[in-house]
Structure 1
Amino acid sequence: MVSRRTFLAGGGAVAAGGLGWFQTGSAAASGQAGSGLVDAAELGTTGRRLLPSFARPRHLHYGDVSKLSGGDQTLLTTLQGLVNRSRPELYFLYSPGGNDGVDARWLRNTGVPATRYADPLELVAKYRHRVRGAILHDPEVPDSLNVATTLAGLENAVVADAAQAKAHGLRVVKDLRGLFDDDRVKTYRWQFEHLFPRCTRQLLAGLPPTMVVQAENLTWHEIARETRQLRDSSNRGTYTLDVSPALGKDAVYVRFQDSFGDDGWGPSVLSVTAKADGATLATFQPGTPHEAPYLFDGLNSSIGGEGNRFSDGSGYFIYKFSPPAGTTSLTVTVEMWNQYLVTATDTAPTRVEPFPYFRDYVVATKALVSWLPPNGPTGELLTEHFAAVGPTTPYAGWFANDVAGEWSGVDLAAQGGSEVLPADFYMNGTVHSGVVAPISDRVRRFRPITPKKKIYVTLTFGEGDNVQYCQRHMRDLWDDPRRGHAPVNWTVSPLLADIGPAILSHYQRTATHNDLLICGPSGAGYTYPGAWPAEQLDAYFKLSGRYLRRTGMDLVYAYNHRENDAWVPFSETIGRGYAEHTPIRGIIQSWEKGDLLVRRGGLPVIGNFSPPGKAAEYKAALDAHTAAWTGDAPLFVAGAVNAWSWTPTDVAQLAELLTGKYELVLGNVFFDALDKVL
């Protein structure tokens, strides 16, 4: 399975449907003139906003920070949070591509006058009088960066290291160096006890303190490649790889990645032995303490059920081996299988830097930010965080440990009555939540059909719960010139109405008659409803209903919880909760096999069918999946589209293959027809 992170109707057709529009953004939603942060708590429990919003920007100062270090970006994003708290004035371009990058495109869409700074660090001097000084994090203790971020919001200070503070003439408000060690639980326990009483209760935040940055101009030597698309472990074996071509410096870095990055069946490695000139240099199994000294970068990988390390799609993992000086032969023997691509280099391929993103929103809202893996002692402390806030308080950011961290993290949040807002790479949030834009609250009209003896297929791009995907990758997909050539559903988060109204508005207004926006998992925030406390579940459904009505969505793509490594179908109680409190007409449940078709609470629920590969392979999988169909009655298939590897061009190519017994339709037509025959 590919991770969420291994990383839209509108237009003339919708306008003809008579959509109702209302202005959204802090000024419009609150009825105020729009000066300063508008806390959602000010609206009370019946208010329309879950997330804090900001005043409407009048003029923006911006610069391209894509080539700055993570430390400098962190300095600027925390400055941005402090300045934009009163009214957004700072905006940054993070994506490469200059004026063609996604951040530049959104900036133009805002229509807000803007002044560009060739050197964005000049903005520190320009706004230095607006901050008290700097909170110094400890580079030796990565988690101190999150403590510094929390303190920055509370003390009206930026986050910096000692060298940055000196270079920019910033007074030291608090120096965290030497106060913490590598005991993550102790660090965040101190923060929870001493800082949380001063923080907002509107949200909790989870951000990694560091990120891995790719080195430039590297030469990778290809060592081994599986050229067949194998997903059944049939090539499992022990392979001795000669990585000697990468010898030359102090170390050799061996990278394992997916040889077919578009289908999610990358390399699995169960054991590793490295030998230098025949002498054993290292031997270990993944996930054990013996692996730790050699695992240079494992952030984009996971540990499987056999204790194997694997990485799918665009992910990878890297081992570092340091042979004795003068070594002429270096081999690495691995037991591995599936679609592997092994390469090696003699130069450190990545470096670790502070993680800067989303910190403007965290600082501006005075939120508590931590990074607590959801299992073990850190998970126990994270559970206390959820218990300290009210039901439906969002957890904004993400979790450690890739896919496994996602499943256990979202599950833990649900048990604590919190929905998740994946937002760790959401950038300029303080600006986007303040831009006023029209959002339609009318449900998309469609022409119903009388089901015939055909196979009805609806295709859905996933990942829309993830607001950074909606902001970044989805915009690139949306700008594909072949979008609109074939019907497809696009999952989006209805919480964009708070944190990115202009983003949601853009997708609504520019959608073609073949684009349908539906709600991403599993309503107003990513969650597993089956994991919620029974007494709090209706609060989530009511919240979701409010946001679905506000954004005109009547379909939801949803997950439940997992038991014994399998997704559990929705219960009658959950179906009834959706039916009673939300306006949805049906649910696509993430099921991976496409064999679920039931009614729950009177609503049709269908499992998604998610085959690998591109158009031809997808069509072949559909043919196999529907081979037993006799043609005596309509058949319905909800097909998932991998948003990280597919584009609207790929959807159009698949549509050209779906002829004869197949009919490709939008989700609203699909569920209306399904409801008639189920």
Structure 2
Amino acid sequence: MVSRRAFLAGSGALTVGGLGVVPGFTSAAQAAVSSTSGSPARLLPVFNRPRHLDYGDVSKLSGGDQTLLTTLQGIVNRTEPELYFLYDTGTVSVPDAKWLADMHLPTKLYKNPLDLVAKYRGRIRGAIVHDPAVPDSLNVATTLAGLENAVVADADQAKAHGLRIVKDLRGMFDDDVVKTYRWQLDNLFPKVTHKLLAGLPPTRVVDVEGVQWQEIARETQQIRDSSNRGTYNLDVSAKLGKEAVYVRFADSFTDDGWGASVRHVVVTANGTEFARFEPNSPEEAPYLFDGSHSSIGGEGNRFADGGNYWIYRFEPPAGTTSLVVTVEMWNQYLVSATDTSPTRIEPFAYFRDYVVATKALVSWLPPGGATGDLLIEHYAKYPTLAPYMGWFANDVSGEWDGVDLASKGGSPVVAADFYMNGTVHAGFTAPISDKPRPIRRIDKPKNKVYVTLTFGEGDNIQYCQRRLREIWDDPKRGQVPTNWTISPLLAETGPGLYSYFQRTATANDLLVCGPSGGGYTYPGSWVPAELTEYLKMTGGFMRRTGLDVVYAYSSRQDDKWILLSEEIASGYNEYTPVKGIMQTWDGDPLTVRQGGLPITGQWGAPGKAAEFKAAMDQRIANWDGASPLFISGGIGAWSWSPSDMGELGALLGDPYEVVLANAFYDLLNRVL
């Protein structure tokens, strides 16, 4: 999953002269590795094909009720997928409903989805009761639910639905996360599947409807160079009168990735200081109401880009009439305040059907410190190529550190934390062609700027299920040659999804393999012998899904992305069908030939079409026009759409020529 700022760093261009229906295997590596000409055996668990689906709209249910239903779904669908849920809304305009309609299966709508608990009560042994006072007990309960053929519930839910309590976790754990997951690893690992491990947050933050925010401060210019860095006094006195004041820091320009950034905070009530802290410090913790949508920068600053934000909660002394928050702040800030608690904490329900059905062990271990050490132990216990499915804590830094640890441990990452109805999609079969897209070959290259443009994020199967479907269905798709990263593992986690994108692609759409092959990984962090197994597995999946271009990372050194080594590039060349690699790395030159393959750095620019075009004009300003120039451009999948691509394409006249990646690398292979 490409982080929000990662692809902006590049500037690449080149001038050239056994569980029921889930059969076990001895080793995940042995099962997944194929020859360079054969098809891979199953990497991920097998599910039967659904024949009829009971479904309901759970979008308005609490996280606790959603968790009850998704764990029920896991038990029921393990044998044969029969339950399907709509998580956003019941209309056909959103992905859950669209995918359901695409399957053309007999269905029955349950207006109250909780009625399904009574219908399928005979399929389960009862409930694993988690401890609401210990959030991580919900993950232990999920692991136990898979092993005990039970659902996850709190005590009130178990009573309301007449469920026998199979195991009661109340009082069993405390707030020591390491101790909780140590108990789980020591006691449950021998019983769970060893074909995958999962990482899911036990809770989620849910917005409270009807909260009124008052704008306090806004940067009205698109500043990305910290030139407005200064000390700002934010008077939030207008929101005094209730128990607390909530102050939210967000991005005033949500489409370019340079939102609010804060380094120091001092809070005064009636002129007297009562809070002083720096981000990511113990002193900040009592005031950080919701930091899950923000990140920590290199100098200890807290920032939030795009649609992200963070919220502080300040409870001033009684009688306070003046409340001022003084911050050192910069970039594109948008600060607002309210006197109403804007969010609540609920159980995180998503993807638990898949975890329960496969009898997987699920944890939530931030990849640093003592929790990171325990996560390393998890990887060490699993066979090479057993995927880590879910996600990591701590946003961008958690992504980088977590994927790095997984890579060192021989586990490709499958971003799946918001992958809904996974047990249904994994069982539904659909035709997938193994034929690569024919190349519209450029026989006689001209002295042009050849550009290939790629949407990132495709390694993330929940992105493929949700955001990609949303923008893919834009009627303006196909106006501009566009590459779309996608996970070849959808051949097993969602064949219907992959088939849909493959079948409905226009002549101007090309599917390319997301980073860095058969699962998100950093090849430079792998043990060499295990990397060979990963590349063989990747080659098998790419051939199976008709992919011949890959977007990749290597690894990070000294906080910089480095180029794939000659040895790693040679491995891609030997074991996979790639014709070229687009890669994020820092430094120059950013287009090379390594291991017999052309590798291009991903160049990117903030903003939408006009800014992208202006930045590209600046990038080629020193080009003499005497030979072809090649630029591989990264497009922000969370902020761009085909309509935006249409606007960009209209701007890219002479000397630019936009081409698909297969033609781009075919040409590079002949001129580089």
Residue by residue over 1:552-576, the C-alpha shift from the partner in whole angstroms, topping out at 9 and shown as x without a partner, is 0000001111011110101000000
Aligned partner of 1:652 in structure 2 is 646
Aligned partner of 1:171 in structure 2 is 164
> Shift of residue 41 of structure 1?
6.1
Judge conservation of contact 2:422–2:494 (CA < 8 Å) in 1.
yes
Aligned partner of 1:134 in structure 2 is 127
2:314 to 295, 308, 321: 321
Judge conservation of contact 1:562–1:568 (CA < 8 Å) in 2.
yes
1:539 to 529, 533, 536: 533
1:588 to 582, 586, 592: 582
Residue by residue over 1:94-139, the C-alpha shift from the partner in whole angstroms, topping out at 9 and shown as x without a partner, is 0135332210000001111110000000000000111000000000
Aligned partner of 1:86 in structure 2 is 79
Counterpart CA distance in 1 for 2:91 and 2:587 is 42
2:283 aligned with 1:269, yes or no?
Answer: no
Aligned partner of 2:496 in structure 1 is 502
2:473 to 474, 479, 484: 479
2:232 to 227, 231, 239: 239
Counterpart CA distance in 2 for 1:80 and 1:40 is 25
User: Which moved further from structure 2: 123-132 or 594-603?
Assistant: 594-603
User: Which moved further from structure 2: 270-279 or 431-440?
Assistant: 270-279
Aligned partner of 1:606 in structure 2 is 600
1:255 to 248, 252, 255: 248
Aligned partner of 2:11 in structure 1 is none
Counterpart CA distance in 2 for 1:587 and 1:2 is 15
Residue by residue over 1:493-521, the C-alpha shift from the partner in whole angstroms, topping out at 9 and shown as x without a partner, is 00000000000000000010000000000
Judge conservation of contact 1:134–1:173 (CA < 8 Å) in 2.
yes
User: Which moved further from structure 2: 64-73 or 297-306?
Assistant: 297-306
- Three-state SS of the structure 2 residue aligned to 1:439 is coil
Change (3 A) 1:42 1:63: farther
Counterpart CA distance in 1 for 2:617 and 2:150 is 60
Q: Which amino acid aligns with 1:335?
A: E
- Three-state SS of the structure 1 residue aligned to 2:386 is coil
> Shift of residue 323 of structure 1?
1.4
Q: Which amino acid aligns with 2:285?
A: A
The gaps in structure 2 that reach 5 residues or longer are: 7-17, 35-39
2:516 aligned with 1:528, yes or no?
Answer: no
Residue by residue over 1:204-244, the C-alpha shift from the partner in whole angstroms, topping out at 9 and shown as x without a partner, is 10000000001101100000000000010000000001111
- Three-state SS of the structure 2 residue aligned to 1:241 is strand
2:189 to 185, 196, 205: 196
Counterpart CA distance in 2 for 1:347 and 1:528 is 43
- TM (normalized to structure 1)? 0.94
- Three-state SS of the structure 1 residue aligned to 2:432 is strand
2:136 to 128, 136, 143: 143
Counterpart CA distance in 2 for 1:38 and 1:53 is 7
Judge conservation of contact 2:476–2:642 (CA < 8 Å) in 1.
yes
Counterpart CA distance in 2 for 1:510 and 1:41 is 38
Change (3 A) 1:40 1:654: farther
After superposition, residues 152-171 of structure 1 pair within 5 angstroms as: 152-171=145-164
User: Which moved further from structure 2: 589-598 or 103-112?
Assistant: 589-598
After superposition, residues 229-628 of structure 1 pair within 5 angstroms as: 229-449=222-442, 450-591=444-585, 595-628=589-622
Aligned partner of 1:13 in structure 2 is none
Counterpart CA distance in 2 for 1:101 and 1:581 is 38
Change (3 A) 1:514 1:594: farther
Judge conservation of contact 2:57–2:90 (CA < 8 Å) in 1.
no
Counterpart CA distance in 1 for 2:25 and 2:645 is 39
Counterpart CA distance in 2 for 1:563 and 1:642 is 24
After superposition, residues 96-107 of structure 1 pair within 5 angstroms as: 96=89, 98-107=91-100
Judge conservation of contact 1:594–1:637 (CA < 8 Å) in 2.
no
Aligned partner of 2:660 in structure 1 is 666
- TM (normalized to structure 2)? 0.95
Counterpart CA distance in 2 for 1:414 and 1:661 is 41
Change (3 A) 1:150 1:500: same
> Shift of residue 281 of structure 1?
2.2
Counterpart CA distance in 2 for 1:488 and 1:646 is 12
> Shift of residue 141 of structure 1?
0.5
Judge conservation of contact 2:94–2:470 (CA < 8 Å) in 1.
no
Counterpart CA distance in 2 for 1:204 and 1:86 is 20
Change (3 A) 1:599 1:562: same
Aligned partner of 1:119 in structure 2 is 112
Counterpart CA distance in 1 for 2:24 and 2:530 is 23
> Shift of residue 384 of structure 1?
0.9
Counterpart CA distance in 1 for 2:81 and 2:5 is 28
After superposition, residues 190-229 of structure 1 pair within 5 angstroms as: 190-229=183-222
Aligned partner of 1:19 in structure 2 is none
Q: Which amino acid aligns with 1:59?
A: H
Change (3 A) 1:594 1:320: farther
The gaps in structure 1 that reach 5 residues or longer are: 7-29
2:49 to 31, 42, 56: 56
Counterpart CA distance in 2 for 1:41 and 1:519 is 28
> Shift of residue 594 of structure 1?
8.4
> Shift of residue 303 of structure 1?
1.4
Counterpart CA distance in 1 for 2:238 and 2:89 is 32
Q: Which amino acid aligns with 1:462?
A: G
Judge conservation of contact 1:561–1:568 (CA < 8 Å) in 2.
yes
> Shift of residue 620 of structure 1?
0.4
Judge conservation of contact 1:593–1:608 (CA < 8 Å) in 2.
no
Judge conservation of contact 2:2–2:457 (CA < 8 Å) in 1.
no
Counterpart CA distance in 2 for 1:42 and 1:562 is 29
> Shift of residue 675 of structure 1?
1.1
> Shift of residue 42 of structure 1?
10
Counterpart CA distance in 1 for 2:153 and 2:644 is 45
Aligned partner of 2:9 in structure 1 is none
> Shift of residue 3 of structure 1?
3.9
